[in-house]
Structure 1
């Protein structure tokens, strides 16, 4: 058995007898591991709502939110509904995009401002038949196109291009296009300074065409029949509505007018709307422009032409001896060439042109002035057709 040495026993006895002079604070709380300071800091606890009310948690929530519908108060259900709305919107977006997948990149571009887009089957055919324009770019159509248009397009060098109806609506500003649109250059009208001598035997008359202020004499033919030995022209003054313009051109071509003259400064341009309203007659009827109407009247009258202004004549000394009745127009083309002058339905022919005209004619009211207070005039296209028919038949 092991026995400790005497020196070891002595050291142990001395260590127990000697006490430390200084006492270490909190010595009893010191342990082997790190101390936690949080337990020495003050803590504040928030009083819950149900504790303030003196109720348990379940009873307080039942009393507080019993009126809220279970479905409406379910946050999971709201999230599911929002997710469903996002999915539905995504499906609708994909369906909308699928409608435009076959379109070309250029299909969404705006129309070319340097080109005209003639629309309507008759208008397109008339443009290609007359061949008065500089060139023809392409024919855009939807579904199908007639064999006549295909043949004329090949003859004029115009490309055929199938497209959708929305594209045609954009090009024509949502007009009635009959699923066919011709992209072409605008119609350039020759400017004239006067109409000249007539040759009844050869059925021709002369006119002076202006080119950079230089006049060149031209001759063209006119229609002759039993009661018409001389040409008939139509002069438009301040007709600004394109639909009226188109209707006038259509009536004039149908009834047998030989040519038409427009005041260059104050008439509606010959737009695709005019061409569509005229059913293509804009391309078939010879049309000229005049820059100085009074000079045109004076020079043409010296060549033997008679000007008849239509509309309500002004009550003045210049109109006193110029008034004639509509029936007086019958047979006039057997003796001399005539130009009928019409103006807008608001003001009619301007006073200076009435004063320069040879005759003034007015369509009488069938009900009298007292019975037509609200309808005191005819549409200019209707009035023009009536007077043209009186002259030609």
Structure 2
């Protein structure tokens, strides 16, 4: 053991000085490389502007002029365009946040149970005495689940429910309020499947001898299927049918009121644009007082094609209601009718009356394909209005439609 220790000690004495010298050299190199990049107070390094023989101020101006320009806001944007653009973007962003909060608030205010009941795509709750009775009589309603009531059921509804073998269920008034979204339900509601109106492509020929018109639809394999639809000829001055086309009417109460007036006054059918009109909800049924179930209603997916093909294939005349507009003169010149001109027009040709929403009216592309135009002129006294323009300058679309239908279906 002693011999081994002596040998290691001798080896260390032989190698030790060289190792120590190497470590000293390495430490010396490290310190020199560090000192090379560390700034010294008495450094003799030249600055960049001195190397380029350039004045210090001009060198900084050349290198950092864009930074100074960005800091001077008013000089970089002398006309305020950039500031206006930034303010506009900020306003759009803030408005988007407000719209998002407003949209969310609509859903937070709903009761969860009520939302599930009202948004179910498989069934809906038709409410109101006349609406429920008409729905029970409508063969287009594929199936009814149950009849919910509070108190007593009217005898005519109970008799019809017994014939159809519909289950009746007594509930409290609060549940009816939730199911009908607090509508005027008259203590009765019918759980049934939603209506699915036929989607047609155009209106075909009219047979006055049999008092029938044809409506054409395309099946899934693009086959043209014609359906015969009878129309009313109760008066001597109505030989041809009268239909309505509803364009961009989004208020379900307006649509319900139009359907009610159309059924009462004697219109034969209604055609609606599927994409931009209110769907046929229980609110529409209630407002129409059951007329939704009694009047033929069709959907159209391509309104322009519907107008053109109905005119060419069936000889239908499209009369559009509109308001006076300077931009519309180019396609209304020579085609404008007064309201009395509509009297008895269905004794000569089949007519489709086109109506639109109150704010914008009928779309321009549909106006350009219309045959005639009619306007209900303002009859009030402008002297009574303190404002420069009349405050009440138009009729509700359902009232205007009723006036036009009545003039079309009356004798001269």
Question: What TM-score results when the alignment is normalised by the length of structure 2?
Answer: 0.67
Task: Return the alpha-carbon distance in structure 2 between the equivalents of residues 157 and 287 of structure 1.
Answer: 27
Deviation at 1:341, TM superposition (A): 0.1
Other structure's SS at 2:368 match: helix
Other structure's SS at 1:357 match: coil
Task: Return the alpha-carbon distance in structure 2 between the equivalents of residues 265 and 311 of structure 1.
Answer: 21
Match of 2:225 among 207, 216, 227: 216
Could you list the runs of 5+ residues in structure 2 that have no partner in the other structure?
Answer: 1-112
Other structure's SS at 2:244 match: strand
Report what 2:194 is aligned to: 186
For residues 227-280 of structure 1, what are the alpha-carbon distances to aligned partners after superposition, in whole Å with 9 as ceiling and x for unaligned? 100000000000100100100000000000000000010000010000000000
For residues 176-224 of structure 1, what are the alpha-carbon distances to aligned partners after superposition, in whole Å with 9 as ceiling and x for unaligned? 1000000000000000001110111110011102332432011111011
Report what 1:163 is aligned to: 171
1:111 aligns with 2:117: yes
Match of 1:298 among 308, 312, 316: 308
Task: Return the alpha-carbon distance in structure 2 between the equivalents of residues 373 and 338 of structure 1.
Answer: 32
Deviation at 1:367, TM superposition (A): 2.8
1:279 aligns with 2:285: no
Deviation at 1:168, TM superposition (A): 0.4
Report what 2:18 is aligned to: none
Report runs of 4+ in structure 1 exceeding 4 Å deviation.
107-110, 368-372
Contact 2:114 2:178 in 1 (8 A): no
Report what 1:379 is aligned to: 396
Higher share in helix: 2
Other structure's SS at 2:331 match: coil
Report what 1:391 is aligned to: 408
For residues 286-334 of structure 1, what are the alpha-carbon distances to aligned partners after superposition, in whole Å with 9 as ceiling and x for unaligned? 0001000110000000121000000214433111121110111012111
Which moved further from structure 2: 115-124 or 206-215?
A: 206-215
Task: Return the alpha-carbon distance in structure 1 between the equivalents of residues 391 and 403 of structure 2.
Answer: 21
Query: Pairwise mapping of residues 1-393 of structure 1 onto structure 2 (< 5 A)?
Result: 110-111=116-117, 113=120, 114-212=122-220, 213-224=222-233, 225-302=235-312, 303-315=314-326, 316-367=329-380, 373-393=390-410
- What RMSD, in angstroms, separates the aligned Cα atoms of the two structures? 1.7
Other structure's SS at 2:405 match: helix
Other structure's SS at 1:288 match: strand
Question: What TM-score results when the alignment is normalised by the length of structure 1?
Answer: 0.71
Task: Return the alpha-carbon distance in structure 1 between the equivalents of residues 382 and 268 of structure 2.
Answer: 35
For residues 334-364 of structure 1, what are the alpha-carbon distances to aligned partners after superposition, in whole Å with 9 as ceiling and x for unaligned? 1100000000011111111111000010001
Q: Would you say how many aligned residue pairs link Structure 1 and Structure 2?
A: 287
For residues 352-388 of structure 1, what are the alpha-carbon distances to aligned partners after superposition, in whole Å with 9 as ceiling and x for unaligned? 1111000010001113677662111100000000000
Contact 2:114 2:179 in 1 (8 A): no
